[in-house]
Amino acid sequence: MLDILLDGIIDTLKLMPYLCITFIILEFLEHKMNKKNESILKNSKKVGPIIGGALGGLPQCGFSAMASNLFSSKVITKGTLIAIFLSTSDEMLPIMVSKKVELSLLLRIIGFKVLIGIIVGLIIDIIFYPKEEKSIKEITHLCEEEHCDCNNHGIIYSSIIHTLKISFFILIVNILLNILISKIGEDNLSNILLNKNILTYFLASFIGLIPNCASSVILTELYLQNMITIGTLLAGLLTGSGIGLLVLFKTNKNFQENIKILATIYLVGVILGIIIDFII
């Protein structure tokens, strides 16, 4: 039990700098930006999925959480957020490096995730949500929503308050997930993926959605042992956006919108996993 608590605390502490930096940016945008700068920011949303997809491919643990906060405050578009979620790299990268996997394979996997993230993000912004995403919106007033009285204390103080609130939420969920996975057993999760049928892709994508390092570790290890296909691996890695989805459901008040984003990521993972194995 102590190990579970420590893992949850460590995972949460790793995210806190990203969360704090994000809230400082959001507070700055809310309090300091003039209308001209705000207009420039909103116009840049047109290429957001390209930038987000490329940045998501870089090895880091908190970028998806940062993106969720920015989306909830209407700074980035839905397409940009999904591009980041799909391209985000997590524990897969250090595991493959430690196993001395060929650099070409590693770059192909990351490049594929980035490319799919950009394509899907652009399609969502351009075709499905052109009016919704490109309409002029005011940046959500974080202080009014959280009642943190930041006008009397300043940007740094309010950013720390926001960070502590959401970090506590993440900590509780992390601990609960660690307990759940310890009860189920990583071996049992692995065995589920060994049944080579169409359901494997659905299961891999579902496991990838779990905001815990165990999911990507299991998928990567099984692939390196030649126990699952590259399509099954990618089905899970595409949906593995780390803690991003968890932060999204905490910060974005539109629950139906969150479900649509989750469903989009899940279906992209399943469909692309099947396609990859079919053509390779």
pLDDT the model gives residue 133: 46
Give 89's strand partners: 59
Question: How many angstroms separate the CA atoms of 76 and 152, rounded?
Answer: 28
Query: Helices 255-279 and 230-239, interaxial angle, to 10°?
Result: 160
Residue of 85, 138, 77, 147 lying closest to 116 (CA atoms): 85
**Structure-token match 């892709």, residue found:** 201
Question: How many angstroms separate the CA atoms of 81 and 66, rounded?
Answer: 10
pLDDT the model gives residue 269: 95
Q: In the predicted model, what is the mean pLDDT of residues 258-280?
A: 94
Summarised one tens digit per residue, pLDDT across range 124-180 is 998 876 655 444 344 444 455 554 555 555 677 777 877 787 777 767 766 776 776
Question: How many angstroms separate the CA atoms of 183 and 258, rounded?
Answer: 28
Question: How many angstroms separate the CA atoms of 235 and 42, rounded?
Answer: 32
Summarised one tens digit per residue, pLDDT across range 192-227 is 666 667 888 998 999 888 876 667 777 887 788 777
Question: How many angstroms separate the CA atoms of 116 and 121, rounded?
Answer: 8
Question: How many angstroms separate the CA atoms of 214 and 140, rounded?
Answer: 34
pLDDT the model gives residue 201: 92
Above 70 in pLDDT, residue 240?
yes
Summarised one tens digit per residue, pLDDT across range 22-50 is 667 766 655 554 444 445 445 556 788 99
Question: How many angstroms separate the CA atoms of 102 and 277, rounded?
Answer: 20
Question: How many angstroms separate the CA atoms of 225 and 217, rounded?
Answer: 12
